[in-house]
Each structure stands twice: as structure tokens, then as C-alpha cells.
């Protein structure tokens, strides 16, 4: 049996060792296919990262697919049942690094657009592709830079599907219509180092911090809303002490992270954390890292089109969720358009033996194609 166009393209992409931020020729493969369909191509290289923007048509609305050609490292190859960069089919699953995150999606997008344009060469609006090779890395020179360049010239994406693996059990059972924001605080509480036998000459920053940390950890930050779970506060790292059992530490370092809903923003969180710390009279220094704003795409043209396409293929509607880590969707959402994520089952992503169901790739291709038909015909 010959491979379907989606499967053949997915295999071609997986066979290229595009470990982040290396693209390994994946984007050229996509570019050649899109050029043949009449797309205008713009390669955008920023530092070590290759990106491209492709567009077919000049009219509004501008609908775009977004994704990444880079993959996470294979890790210990000995643990893989099949070589990570040699695509293999086993029991109806396509195996290889990137099969689910997200070369399968990229193949589905390209083939969906090919089939759509064959049927509707004079479609309404415009179709775009925003593809990066730095999503799995530090995301400094990827999607965010392309978005900045497009916004600068007023070329805003109105509607976007990001191909991240959004599904849990069958493709399309979950569509992500937003993501939580993320913010990290690095707190240093200052004390006075000394001998544990002479506590009156020292000041223990661990003891001083406990009540404040307890309050931070037990605070109800918000109750979430229709689409978002309540904001969560977690302490992933703490550090104090010299290792000796007779020394009171001079400093206590605590790192905490909040995953927050659209009920909050960076400023409110910074203010509320400061209020709690100040209440406990701590001498401290606090550095913040803003990892991303939350975004939400509520009911509207794009969500309707995607939900109806998924429903037509699966005979059942997708759940709309905002769970999971941050994604490049947060950068695209800055253009104030609608952004959703629809892609394969994410059970094996970043793991050894990453794989995707071959049938799911065909279904995903159909879902993408029907979304285009719902929006641009
Ligand atoms: Zn991904």
C-alpha cells in the first residue's frame, strides 16, 4: 500500500534531524510545496533560528496555520524501540521523534491546504503559514520575532490554528482555546548567619519566611472562570544552608511560579505577592520573570469553524480547554486575532517512542481542510 500524502510528508519531515533550534531542511520541504500552490514565501532568519512566513492571497480575513519544525532531543537512543529519526509504522502508529509534536500536524496542514486549493483555487481571504524552528528552545528568535515583524507592517493574523498536540485520547477530543499565563519569582530572604548554639546573635531567614510562604501557598488567587481553572501557586525550588548542622543560614532562596487565568495579570500578581511579603516584615529581594500572558479565544468565527469541522469528522464535539504549559499561541494572540490549538494526541510527546496514530493524521488533515472550507468558501 502506498502512503497517503500526509503520511509520506510526515515521514519525510521526521527523517530530518531537526533538534532545536536546527531546522535540517524541513522548512524547505514545506516551502517547495507551498510555492507550487502560489504562496509568497518570506524566509526570516533571526540569529540561530530559521523561520518562514508564507501567504496566499491579499484579501482579509487572513487565516494562518502556525507550528514548529524543531523537535526535542531523542535522549538515550538505546531506550527507543525504533531509531528516533527513521520513521517506522508499527501497529497502525507512526513512530519517530516529532511524530506528534509536531511534524504530523505540519504534514496535515500542508496537505489540507493542497486539497483545499485544488477544490477552491479562488477562495476568499488569505491563507498564511507561520513556521519556526525554535519552539522547543528558548523561544526568543522564533514566532515572537515573526509576529513582531508582521505587526510592524500592519499584517495581522485574524484567525490562527496552532498545530500543537492538543488531544488526549482521540484526535480532536480537545481543542485548546487559550492558555494560562506564567510568571516566576526568585525570592531571596536575608537573615544573619551564625552558630545554631547562639541564635540570639543570628537571624534565621528560613524561620522568618515560613509564615509568609504558607500564606502565599494557601492564598486563593482567583476562582478561575468558564474556561480557566483557578490560578495555581507552586514552589519548585528552595535553597538555604551551608550543609553543616551547626550553622544558621544567612540567606534563603525560594523560587515560585504561578500559572494564572485571564482573571489576573502580571501587575496584580506582583502587587499581591509584595503585600504578603511586606506584611511579614521580611528583608528580601525579589526578581520576576514574565513567561507569558494568558490568552482566550471565546466563541466566534474561528472556534465555530473548528468545532464544526471536528464534529463532522468525529461525530462528537471537542472539549474546549486551556490546560497545559505555555505555547507560541501566546505570541500570536498579541495580534488580537483568534487563536486555537488543534493537533494530535499528546500522550507520547517529548518521550521515548514518540508516536502518532496514522489514522489520526488523516482525520487531522480533514479537520484542517474543513475548517478552511468553513471560513474561506
Ligand atoms: Zn510542540
> From the candidates 135, 293, 328, 373, which is the catalytic residue?
135
| Average pLDDT of every residue of the chain | 96
**What's the pLDDT at 325?**
80
Confidence of residue 136 (pLDDT cuts 50, 70, 90): confident
Tens of pLDDT, residue by residue over 257-267, are 999 999 999 99
**What's the pLDDT at 1?**
75
Task: Report the candidate in 159, 129, 163, 120 with the shortest Cα–Cα distance to residue 10.
Answer: 163
Q: What is the distance in A from the centroid of ligand 1 to the CA of 272?
A: 33
Q: What is the distance in A from the centroid of ligand 1 to the CA of 199?
A: 51
Does this model's pTM top 0.75? yes
Q: What is the distance in A from the centroid of ligand 1 to the CA of 3?
A: 24
Q: What is the distance in A from the centroid of ligand 1 to the CA of 346?
A: 9
Q: What is the distance in A from the centroid of ligand 1 to the CA of 351?
A: 13
CB 123 within 8 A of CB 29: no
pLDDT at 338 over 80: yes
**What's the pLDDT at 75?**
93
> From the candidates 23, 70, 134, 341, which is the catalytic residue?
70
Does 135 qualify as catalytic in the annotation?
yes
**What's the pLDDT at 266?**
95
Q: What is the distance in A from the centroid of ligand 1 to the CA of 19?
A: 12
The beta strands (E) that lie in the chain are given as 40-46, 49-56, 62-68, 88-90, 93-95, 126-132, 159-162, 174-176, 178-179, 181-190, 194-195, 232-240, 247-248, 251-260, 284-292, 295-296, 319-321, 338-341, 355-357
Q: Average pLDDT in the 223-245 region?
A: 94
How far apart CA 272 and CA 182 sit, in angstroms, is: 15
**What's the pLDDT at 326?**
81
Q: What is the distance in A from the centroid of ligand 1 to the CA of 135?
A: 7
> % helix / strand / coil in the chain, to the nearest 5?
35, 30, 40
Q: What is the distance in A from the centroid of ligand 1 to the CA of 364?
A: 16
Q: What is the distance in A from the centroid of ligand 1 to the CA of 334?
A: 19
How far apart CA 320 and CA 11 sit, in angstroms, is: 30
Does 263 qualify as catalytic in the annotation?
no
**What's the pLDDT at 292?**
86
Looking at the chain, the whole-number percentage of residues with pLDDT higher than 70 is 100
Torsions phi, psi for 5 (to 5 deg): -55, -40
**What's the pLDDT at 137?**
83
Confidence of residue 130 (pLDDT cuts 50, 70, 90): very high
Partners of 167 in beta bridges: 345
- Cβ neighbours around 192 below 10 Å, total: 14
Tens of pLDDT, residue by residue over 160-200, are 999 999 999 999 999 999 999 999 999 999 999 999 999 99
Q: Average pLDDT in the 52-58 region?
A: 98
pLDDT at 302 over 80: yes
Q: What is the distance in A from the centroid of ligand 1 to the CA of 343?
A: 9
Q: Average pLDDT in the 135-146 region?
A: 91
**What's the pLDDT at 139?**
83
**What's the pLDDT at 178?**
94
**What's the pLDDT at 366?**
98
**What's the pLDDT at 327?**
86
**What's the pLDDT at 8?**
98
pLDDT at 339 over 90: yes
Q: What is the distance in A from the centroid of ligand 1 to the CA of 230?
A: 25
Q: What is the distance in A from the centroid of ligand 1 to the CA of 144?
A: 15
Tens of pLDDT, residue by residue over 304-333, are 999 999 999 999 999 999 988 888 999 999
Amino acid at each position: 500500500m502506498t502512503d497517503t500524502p500526509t503520511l509520506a510528508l510526515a515521514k519525510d519531515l521526521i527523517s530530518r534531524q531537526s533538534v532545536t533550534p536546527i531546522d535540517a531542511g524541513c522548512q524547505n520541504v514545506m516551502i517547495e510545496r507551498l510555492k507550487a500552490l502560489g504562496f509568497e514565501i518570506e524566509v526570516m532568519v533571526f540569529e540561530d533560528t530559521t523561520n518562514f512566513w508564507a501567504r496566499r492571497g491579499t484579501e482579509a480575513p487572513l487565516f494562518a496555520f502556525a507550528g514548529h519544525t524543531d523537535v526535542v532531543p531523542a535522549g538515550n537512543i538505546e531506550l527507543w524501540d525504533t531509531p528516533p529519526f527513521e520513521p517506522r509504522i508499527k501497529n497502525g502508529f507512526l513512530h519517530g521523534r516529532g511524530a506528534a509534536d509536531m511534524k504530523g500536524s505540519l504534514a496535515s496542514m500542508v496537505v489540507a491546504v493542497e486539497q483545499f486549493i485544488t477544490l477552491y483555487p479562488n477562495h476568499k481571504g488569505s491563507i498564511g503559514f507561520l513556521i519556526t524552528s525554535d519552539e522547543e528552545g528558548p523561544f526568543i528568535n522564533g514566532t515572537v520575532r515573526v509576529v513582531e515583524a508582521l505587526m510592524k507592517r500592519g499584517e495581522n493574523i485574524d484567525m490562527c490554528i496552532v498545530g500543537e498536540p492538543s488531544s488526549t485520547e482521540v484526535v480532536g477530543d480537545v481543542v485548546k482555546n487559550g492558555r494560562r499565563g506564567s510568571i516566576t519569582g526568585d525570592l531571596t530572604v536575608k537573615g544573619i548567619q551564625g552558630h545554631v548554639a547562639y541564635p540570639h546573635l543570628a537571624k534565621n531567614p528560613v524561620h522568618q519566611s515560613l509564615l509568609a510562604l504558607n500564606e502565599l501557598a494557601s492564598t486563593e488567587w482567583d476562582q478561575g472562570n468558564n474556561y480557566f481553572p483557578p490560578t495555581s501557586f507552586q514552589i519548585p525550588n528552595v535553597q538555604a544552608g551551608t550543609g553543616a548542622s551547626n550553622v544558621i543560614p544567612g540567606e534563603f532562596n525560594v523560587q515560585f511560579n504561578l500559572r494564572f487565568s485571564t482573571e489576573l495579570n502580571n501587575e496584580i500578581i506582583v502587587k499581591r505577592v509584595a503585600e504578603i511579603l511586606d506584611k511579614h516584615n521580611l528583608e528580601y529581594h525579589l526578581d520576576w520573570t514574565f513567561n507569558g500572558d494568558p490568552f482566550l479565544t471565546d466563541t466566534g468565527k474561528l472556534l465555530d469553524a473548528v468545532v464544526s469541522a471536528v464534529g463532522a469528522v468525529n461525530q462528537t464535539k471537542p472539549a474546549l480547554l486551556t490546560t497545559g504549559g505555555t505555547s507560541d499561541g501566546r505570541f500570536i494572540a498579541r495580534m488580537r486575532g483568534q487563536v486555537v490549538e488543534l493537533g494530535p494526541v499528546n500522550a507520547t510527546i517529548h518521550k521515548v517512542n514518540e508516536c502518532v496514530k496514522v489514522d489520526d493524521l488523516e482525520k487531522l488533515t480533514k479537520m484542517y481542510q474543513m475548517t478552511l472550507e468553513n471560513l474561506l468558501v
